[in-house]
Structure 1
Amino acid sequence: MSSQLQTDIVIVGGGIAGLWLNARLGKLGYSSLLVEQHSLGGEQSVKSQGIIHGGTKYALHGALTGSSEAIADMPERWRRAIAGEGEIDLTGVRVLSNAHYLWSPGSIAGNLTSFFASKAMRGRVDAVKGAELPPALQDKKFKGKVYRLSELVLDVPSVIQKLAGLAQGALLKAQTIKPLYDQQQQLIGITADEHQIQAQRVIFCAGQGTQALLNDFAQTQPQQQLRPLHMVLVKGANLKPIYAHCLGAGTKPRITITTHPAADGQWVWYLGGNLAEAEGVARNEAEQIRAAQKELADLIPWLDQSQLSWRTLRVDRAEPAQSGLVRPDNAFLAQQGKLLVTWPTKLALSPDLADRVINSLNTDHITPQAPALQAVLAQPEIAQPAWETLF
């Protein structure tokens, strides 16, 4: 038996960007309902390394780029939220590290010299050594240099858990999502399983699932692109925490390592960066693991790899289509009447995406009208971290 629901905004997609937007809208007085087809955070969010970038890694050639400028104030916005002083309340979210690091395994050479000499980088990086080094690099054999960034690394599952709580039950798990039209064939909401949900605006925030939604809603624009990654996970009792980009000779991190707590008390290293990109995507699992083992043996030779367990994880980052598959600088929003199509493009840019949606609502004079939802709805579960399902 079908039911009819009324809300101001319906959001399709329960990753961190959709959940953050849902929380922002609630604080502004809108009635909103978030619909998720699978599990909260189950695609890109839970596969994220949890780094709240401030743009430094996009400026390794010594100058700020569009990407680095667009994301520069994101760490501070997240910090304020975690302190309970921001646009939403993220108190209780687990901070894995209050800083992310740049790590040079040897002497700084070539174009990296201009990076550290750049006026644009002053105040964004600080050299550290000795006891200030990440624990994994505190070894007498370490000869490199390490710089602290004013960024942070979050435990993504705890972020999803907190944001789900802020929704106060205004969440719905539905396997089938279709457009809901009036008699003039104008979009007025969605049909989610047996629920007909009318709303002033429908917002797609479904990451990789957005393309299928666009197809179901007979929308040909905007187009979606996928940028594949082949990440590596390493688990072992002898691992120590490290959150760092290891610098290579080029303008991309040679490898990016974050460390995550497993349920059994052990640490898991999650390896991305250049290792996970083009050449890594082309490798099969065994080849990618061997490449990661070789990188770690070269960069952290004192690490005993004999008792480590290894897995790989393929991730497709979903974004609006760009010429040459380049990475967009900002969160993205395109409007088709009452339908707003969004991609955050990075976890850290979730606040930027919410800003863009709210600006669109204000421009169109969309104000809170519907009462808060009272219905008891089927709730989506929270996704398990990759390190719990793979090992």
Structure 2
Amino acid sequence: MTTSATHIELDIAIIGGGVAGLWLANRLQSQGYKFALFEHKALGSDQTMASQGMIHGGMKYTLSGMLTGASEAIADMPQHWRACLCGEGDVDLRNTRILSDHFFLWSGDSITAKLTSFLASKATRGRVDPVSDERRPPLLRHKDFNGSLYRLVDIVLDAHSLVTNLAHNIEPHCFLIDGEQTRFLKDADGNAYLRIERDQAPLEIRAKRFIFTAGQGNASLLSQLGLDSPAMQIRPLQQVMVKHHHPFHFFGHCLGAETTPRLTISSHALNKHEQVWYLGGSLAERGATMDADELIEQAKQELAELIPWVDLSEAEWATLAINRAEPLQPNFARPDNAFIAPANGCNNLLVGWPTKLTLAPNLANQALDLLAQAGITPGNQSSGLQGLLPKPDIAPTPWETAFPAAMSKEESLMLKLQEELVEAYDEDQDEPYGVESFTDNNKDQH
């Protein structure tokens, strides 16, 4: 017996619940569009939660000693984000946690005269300032530090808090879909639609525009429709996580001989007594081809050379392999800006990559421009999906996964007690109180 599908009509359907999709969804809501966002794992999974949270204005792309297309494309982004954090921008981020209102550029040795002159030039005024010895952060206040240090007027956000804030703003419009039960199809007119199989009637979702913001997943979504354009490139990374008890809360790029930072450090609290240093930069790029143990040894050597006064002998180490998905560029170049464009061979599909966390607002602006050019105006109605699909969770951070919280003494004692009760119950099936009734009847005593 065939069950007819339940049909849903939307203005916009976003596929992918990372920062790009969530930011765009916030903009669509404020404009009054009839929209929904669909995620098949957890919100912020993969690239977004793996971000170091640095909302920068491109100064890390100037290490050749000159302004570049990449540095200028995002020069205004920190100001844009600051307005949103104050509740005065196009997206309300007032509930997002700021980890730091600045970060640093620093060198283990003195940097080249060319770069020193550039960082002190008028071209960088208001974006970077030299730091005097008495104002150095605690990590670099040691007598053996003799490098150069600059302070960037950029910000660092807690990625988990950011995703939670963005998702909360649009909670009625976020839905979890089962990747095994969901399929993109194309009708005879060349329009994509989404079919979701369920125990109840299947859902058939049509939209004036589908927008793929699924990062690396965009390629597989396109392949379901028999498409391969816009094409994607993958930039693999392997980040290192260092769990330690030192109080050094630090965010910064270490300058090396290359035009990308030698090492990037961001700090993330794990609990009241421990934090994790999350290491990126050239180390993470080189680490993409190493096994985890080899990369950890490389990270230990780097830190021992750059900050030898910090004892990490008791630290715990882990790595995270992650693919950064970007639009395909000539010669595998790094994209300067966010990207979104129509898919060739499908009338109602846009495909986008923000390329950097910083540029999520830029992608949303481009998407809204494309919708306006196509004459797609807001419907200002409910999606009609409430109660038909479950809600997605927020993804955990990489360090929460790598270093799961240890049990407290109380939790350990309770678990031991419950195990003993299970054993006692198994030995005597006539026991009048099973574990469940015992714990229920004795909650107050516990």
Give me the TM-score of the superposition, normalised by structure 2: 0.84
Instruction: Provide, for residues 356-389 of structure 1, a one-character-per-residue CA deviation record: whole Å limited to 9, x for no partner.
Output: 0000011111101251224223111110000010
Q: Which residue of 2 aligns with 1:106?
A: 109
1:1-391 aligned within 5 A = 2-130=5-133, 132-176=135-179, 177-182=182-187, 184-187=188-191, 189-193=193-197, 194-263=202-271, 265-277=273-285, 279-336=286-343, 337-369=347-379, 371-374=381-384, 375-376=386-387, 377-391=389-403
Q: Bigger CA drift: 207-216 or 143-152?
A: 143-152
Distance in 1 (CA, whole Å) between partners of 2:377 and 2:279 is: 44
Instruction: Provide, for residues 114-155 of structure 1, a one-character-per-residue CA deviation record: whole Å limited to 9, x for no partner.
Output: 432443212211112345323322223322221111211100
Q: Which residue of 1 aligns with 2:435?
A: none
Distance in 1 (CA, whole Å) between partners of 2:369 and 2:15 is: 19
Distance in 2 (CA, whole Å) between partners of 1:33 and 1:124 is: 38
Q: Which residue of 1 aligns with 2:414?
A: none
Q: Assess if the C-alpha contact under 8 Å between 1:10 and 1:189 holds in 2.
A: no
Percent identity of the aligned residues? Answer: 46
Q: Assess if the C-alpha contact under 8 Å between 1:226 and 1:316 holds in 2.
A: yes
Superposition deviation, residue 3 in structure 1 = 2.8
Q: Bigger CA drift: 2-11 or 323-332?
A: 2-11
Which residue identity lines up with residue 280 of structure 1 in the other structure?
A: G
Q: Bigger CA drift: 260-269 or 147-156?
A: 260-269
> What 5-or-longer segments of structure 2 have no aligned partner?
404-446
Distance in 2 (CA, whole Å) between partners of 1:235 and 1:14 is: 28
Distance in 2 (CA, whole Å) between partners of 1:315 and 1:122 is: 35
Q: Assess if the C-alpha contact under 8 Å between 1:179 and 1:187 holds in 2.
A: no
Which residue identity lines up with residue 211 of structure 1 in the other structure?
A: A
SS in 1 for 2:49: helix
Distance in 1 (CA, whole Å) between partners of 2:192 and 2:379 is: 15
Report the CA distance shift for 1:284/1:188 in structure 2 as closer, same or farther (over 3 A): closer
Q: Bigger CA drift: 104-113 or 325-334?
A: 104-113
Which residue identity lines up with residue 261 of structure 1 in the other structure?
A: A
Distance in 2 (CA, whole Å) between partners of 1:30 and 1:265 is: 46
Q: Assess if the C-alpha contact under 8 Å between 1:60 and 1:115 holds in 2.
A: no
Q: CA RMSD in A?
A: 1.6
Distance in 2 (CA, whole Å) between partners of 1:97 and 1:370 is: 38
Distance in 1 (CA, whole Å) between partners of 2:276 and 2:377 is: 45
Which residue identity lines up with residue 15 of structure 1 in the other structure?
A: G
SS in 1 for 2:193: strand
Which residue identity lines up with residue 384 of structure 1 in the other structure?
A: P
Distance in 2 (CA, whole Å) between partners of 1:54 and 1:334 is: 24
Q: Which residue of 1 aligns with 2:407?
A: none
Superposition deviation, residue 41 in structure 1 = 0.6
Distance in 2 (CA, whole Å) between partners of 1:242 and 1:369 is: 46
Which residue identity lines up with residue 184 of structure 2 in the other structure?
A: P
Distance in 2 (CA, whole Å) between partners of 1:87 and 1:47 is: 25
> What 5-or-longer segments of structure 1 have no aligned partner?
none
Report the CA distance shift for 1:113/1:222 in structure 2 as closer, same or farther (over 3 A): same
Which residue identity lines up with residue 364 of structure 2 in the other structure?
A: A
Distance in 2 (CA, whole Å) between partners of 1:5 and 1:133 is: 57
Number of matched pairs: 389
